[in-house]
Amino acid sequence: MAVKIQNIRVICTAPEGINLVVVKVETDEPGLYGLGCATFAYRHLAVKLVVEEYLKPLLIGRCAEDIEDLWQLMHQNGYWRNGPVENNAISGVDMALWDIKGKMANMPVYQLFGGKCREGIPVYRHADGRDLNELCENIQRFREMGITAIRCQCGGYGGESFGQTPPWAPVGAKPGVYLDSRKYIRDTVKLFEGIRSRLGEEIQLVHDVHERIAPGEAVKLAKELEPFDLLFLEDPVSIEQTGWLRRLREQSMTPIAEGELFNNPREWKTLITERLIDFIRVHISQIGGITPARKLQIFAEQFGVRTAWHGPGDMSPLAHAANIHIDLAAPNFGVQEWSGIEPPNFVIQELKGPHGALLEVFPGLPEFKDGYVYANDKPGLGVDLNEKEAEKYPCENVVTTWTQTRRRDGALQTP
Ligand code: MG
């Protein structure tokens, strides 16, 4: 007897102040349900509406076992495809269906992908600092936790803090984060020179450009960072300007990771087949969940491109678990970004009180230990949702402001 979808619910919760969206798919088999991540933190109500008003009526009564068919059905239902709101909504259902499939098989999801290629997932963390001293102190703190790869930034993604308009901006300049790209490039090169001379060659270094400079400047930065042997330079160009990666490849050996903003397969196909990137790092819910992410991972493997899935704070533990399950079974896994689950300097197992809110809402989230993350061996994704706890942390509906980066002259730049 096929298991049928009986109900679909959306639960929004913000245990750490970030709006998380969870989709719960309930079946006609008592106690059998699945959970998925549909988090688009800055548009959470839009995603909720798509799931409740469009996907739920489309899916109720259908067979919960037909993941591929249901994914295609959701993907094609609105006729226009591949938007971030729609993809996140689909992802919530898709991950929940994989969770159900694992529970039905009585296996963790990575077993359905062929089993483990590795026991633990090496992760990289984010270190920041106001200057080289503070940054190096924070890097050391992570190294003491067993982390061997670290993303290094000075003052976030560069530029003045929001609301602090620098004296060199035009009179009447609008609010935003002002970034002088030439200064940023000079400072970043100096920063990596300083990190290498203080901390040596062993540590693996990452830097995130966050699309904040012009494509030609990104080519220059990649070239100038070459002596410091980065694990990768992240999102050097915007998704609209990936054609510049050919130029970058001609000029620099610095490995490139790109793609946390990708929504559409057209955005990554050429980058992979022409080997213009070393690491593909999509945000799994932004491309529609586990089903398309597994296809992308296998496609990338054929061309020697490794995975480095996006793993920020603005995704739920269910999405972190989805990353980890794919990583465990992927021969072309590269490294996993791990952030936002616990505050810096806290190891997950030690979390208590308010810091442990995320763990109370989402019991079973993958565990970090000595540089590696481990999935638990429960059936499905292994992460549950405590709805009573989730209710304690309602989402706030506000318009975000951090996405207003401005160039020297005050014009907007991708954030
Ligand atoms: Mg990034």
Same domain, 83 and 44: yes
- CATH at 66: 3.30.390.10
Q: Starting at the edge strand that comes first in sequence, how are the strands of the sheet with 177-178 ordered? A: 177-178, 405-406, 412-413
Same domain, 180 and 87: no
CB atoms within 10 A of CB 80: 7
392 backbone dihedrals φ, ψ, rounded to 5° = -70, -15
Paired sense of beta strands 336-337 and 33-37, if any: unpaired
Range picked from 291-295, 339-343, 396-400 for highest mean pLDDT: 291-295
Same domain, 152 and 272: yes
Distance CA 319, CA 286 (A): 11
Total-model pTM = 0.95
pLDDT of residue 155: 86
- Which of 93, 108, 123 finishes a domain? 108
Distance from Cα 280 to the centre of ligand 1, integer Å: 12
Paired sense of beta strands 367-369 and 372-374, if any: antiparallel
Q: Are 295 and 287 in contact (CB under 8 A)?
A: no
Distance CA 164, CA 343 (A): 26
Same domain, 86 and 117: no
Distance from Cα 261 to the centre of ligand 1, integer Å: 9
Domain assignment present for 412: no
Domain assignment present for 389: no
pLDDT digit string, tens, across residues 273-323: 999 999 999 999 999 999 999 999 999 999 999 999 999 989 999 999 999
End-to-end CA distance of the chain: 50
**pLDDT tier, 161 (very low <50, low <70, confident <90, very high otherwise):** confident
β-strand partners of 10: 23
Domain assignment present for 293: yes
| Close Cβ partners of 214 (under 8 Å, ≥ 6 residues apart) | 181
Report the run of H or E that residue 306 belongs to, with start and end: strand 306-307
Same domain, 86 and 161: no
Distance CA 60, CA 63 (A): 9
Query: Which residues carry out catalysis?
Result: 157, 210
Distance from Cα 318 to the centre of ligand 1, integer Å: 19
**pLDDT tier, 355 (very low <50, low <70, confident <90, very high otherwise):** low
Domain assignment present for 199: yes
pLDDT of residue 109: 98
Same domain, 53 and 144: no
Identify the burial level of 30 via C-beta atoms within 10 angstroms of its C-beta, where 0-12 means exposed, 13-18 middle and 19 or more buried. exposed
| Close Cβ partners of 308 (under 8 Å, ≥ 6 residues apart) | 232, 257, 279, 280, 281, 334, 335, 336, 337
pLDDT of residue 365: 85
Distance CA 395, CA 45 (A): 10
Sign of the C-alpha dihedral computed for residues 153, 257, 202 and 190 taken in this order: negative
Same domain, 133 and 95: no
Distance from Cα 154 to the centre of ligand 1, integer Å: 14
Tell me which of 37 and 347 has the higher pLDDT: 37
Q: Are 295 and 265 in contact (CB under 8 A)?
A: no
Distance from Cα 233 to the centre of ligand 1, integer Å: 10
**pLDDT tier, 32 (very low <50, low <70, confident <90, very high otherwise):** very high
Distance from Cα 208 to the centre of ligand 1, integer Å: 6
Distance from Cα 410 to the centre of ligand 1, integer Å: 23
- CATH at 259: 3.20.20.120
Same domain, 166 and 21: no
Same domain, 118 and 244: yes
DSSP per-residue letters across 330-388: -TTB--EE--SSS-TT--GGG--GGGGHHHHHSTTPPEEETTEEE---SSBT-----HH
Q: State which residues form the domain around 30.
A: 5-108
Q: How many distinct structural domains can be found in the chain?
A: 2
pLDDT of residue 349: 39
pLDDT of residue 186: 97
Same domain, 191 and 324: yes
Q: Are 179 and 159 in contact (CB under 8 A)?
A: yes
